[in-house]
Amino acid sequence: MNIMKNNFYVYEIKEKTTDKVVYVGQTTQPSIRYLTHFAPSGKFDRNLHYMNILENEWIFNNKKDARKYEDILQEYYGFETELQKRRKRIVDLLSPKNKRGGKKRAQDAFKKQCIELECPHCHEKGIGRIMYRWHFHKCKYK
């Protein structure tokens, strides 16, 4: 694969024996990210895992899209997504224990993160979980 500068790559870390995806990330420099993940202090062991850089519609020219599709894959594989982490923070804002929170602040935070998703296969757009059910890896035009 020809790695180009300023492109954003979405990648998976997979188990060698089962091909099970254990991690999803995005980066502009896959080879450097590889070294970080597979360093002795890193999370993964190069004898057990490998990095799979996704191609074609999973390569982006901006970070916003790369993060959006990183989220999509994380959700697909059942990992906690960046979006879910942000949602948790919104729920925390509603907690009576949070003195600086409250409904208004939570609503503002929620509005900010209702990102529209577009399926890379059929280009249908939508907001929310229903998109994951019928599109992306499961899209009939894939």
- What does the binding site for Zn ion look like in residue numbers (CB under 5 A)? 119, 121-122, 135, 139
Phi, psi at residue 5, to the nearest 5°? Answer: -60, 145
Give least dist CB 119 to Zn ion, A. 3
Give least dist CB 73 to Zn ion, A. 15
Buried b (16+ CB within 10 A) or exposed e, 102-117: eeeebeebeeeeeeeb
Q: Which is nearer to Zn ion, 46 or 138 (CB)?
A: 138
Q: Which is nearer to Zn ion, 115 or 122 (CB)?
A: 122
Q: Is 105 helix (H, G, I), strand (E, B) or coil?
A: helix
Q: How far is CA 25 from CA 22, 115, 133, 141, in A?
A: 10, 19, 21, 25
Give least dist CB 139 to Zn ion, A. 3
Q: Which is nearer to Zn ion, 108 or 124 (CB)?
A: 124
